[in-house]
Chains A and B, each alone.
Chain A
Amino acid sequence: MSRGKTLLAGIGNEWRSDDGIGPWIAGALRDADLPDVAVLVCAREVLELIEAWKGAETAFVFDALCGAGQPGEVLHIDALEHALPQQALCSSHSLNLADAVALGRSLDQLPERLTLIGVEGRTFDHGRGLSPEIEAAGRRVIKMLSAELKQEGTCEHA
Chain B
Amino acid sequence: MTTTRTIKVDYIARVEGEAALHITLDRDRVHRVELNIFEPPRFFEALLRGRHFTEAVDITSRICGICPIAYMMSAAHAMEDICGVKVDGPLRDLRRVLYCGEWIESHGLHVAMLHLPDFLGYPDAITMAKDHPDLVKDALRLKAVGNDLLRLLGGREIHPINVRVGGFYKLPTVAELKARRGELDWAMGATQRLLKLVAGLKAPDLRTAHEHFALRHADEYPLNEGRYASTDGVDIPIREYEQVLQEEHVAHSTALHSRRLGAANPPLACVGPAARIALNQDRLGPLARAALKEHGLEDAWRNPHRSIALRCVEILFALEESARIIDGYVAPDRPCFEVTPRAGTGYGCTEAPRGTCYHRYSIDEQGLITAAKIVPPTAVNQAAIEGDLRQFVSDRLDMPEDELRHGCEQVIRNFDPCISCSAHFLKLTVERVDGVAA
Contact = CB atoms under 8 A, between A and B. Distances in A.
Task: Provide the main secondary structure of the chain A interface.
Answer: loop
A43 B156 contact: yes
B129 A51 contact: no
A103 B136 contact: yes
A78 interface: no
Contacts of A108: 133
Nearest to B127: A106
A157 interface: no
A57 interface: no
B17 interface: yes
A50 interface: yes
A77 interface: no
A2 interface: no
B218 to A, nearest CB: 33
B202 interface: no
B129 A45 contact: no
Contacts of A94: 65
Contacts of A99: 126
Contacts of A91: 16, 65-66, 420
Contacts of B110: 93
Contacts of B147: 45, 48
A90 B127 CA distance: 22
Contacts of B66: 91, 93
Interface string B120-134: 000001110110010
Contacts of B17: 92
B141 A51 contact: yes
A158 interface: no
A124 to B, nearest CB: 17
B143 interface: yes
| Residue of A44, A51, A92, A93 with most chain B CB atoms under a 10 A cut-off | A93
A106 B125 CA distance: 10
A43 B140 CA distance: 17
Contacts of B156: 43
A47 B143 contact: yes
Interface of B: 13-17, 65-66, 106, 109-110, 114, 125-127, 129-130, 133, 136-137, 140-141, 143-144, 147, 156-158, 420, 425
A-B CB proximity, top 3 nearest = A106-B129, A106-B130, A102-B126
8 contacts: A43-B158, A45-B157, A51-B141, A92-B17, A93-B16, A93-B110, A94-B65, A109-B137
